[in-house]
Structure 1
Amino acid sequence: MPAAHDAELCKERNRIERAINGLKRFRAVATRFDKRAASYFATRCLVAALAWL
């Protein structure tokens, strides 16, 4: 019996995976150079804002 396929769930997952991979283009986010969680979060926010523009 084949597994159930939810097309809407797959679309949402694909969208999230693409967003994460887009953020990984920036080396500081992909390798996490920042030592503190707050600095890393700020870097992620900055990169997300740049990607959104």
Structure 2
Amino acid sequence: MSDTKSNNLSREERLAAKLRENLRRRKAQGRDLASPASESGESRVSKDDAGG
């Protein structure tokens, strides 16, 4: 019975670690998508103004 509890605990720890990694990755992706989108939008306007 104790083997099952320790096995479940390690499984929970692994799942918790994976969730943390996933959260960090998603936050990083969100920041990357938010920042360049506004910058590229501004640069597109300046390119259009310069070209036209």
TM-score, normalised with respect to structure 2: 0.40
Bigger Cα Rg: 2
Structure with the bigger RCO (C-alpha within 8 Å, sep 6+) is 1
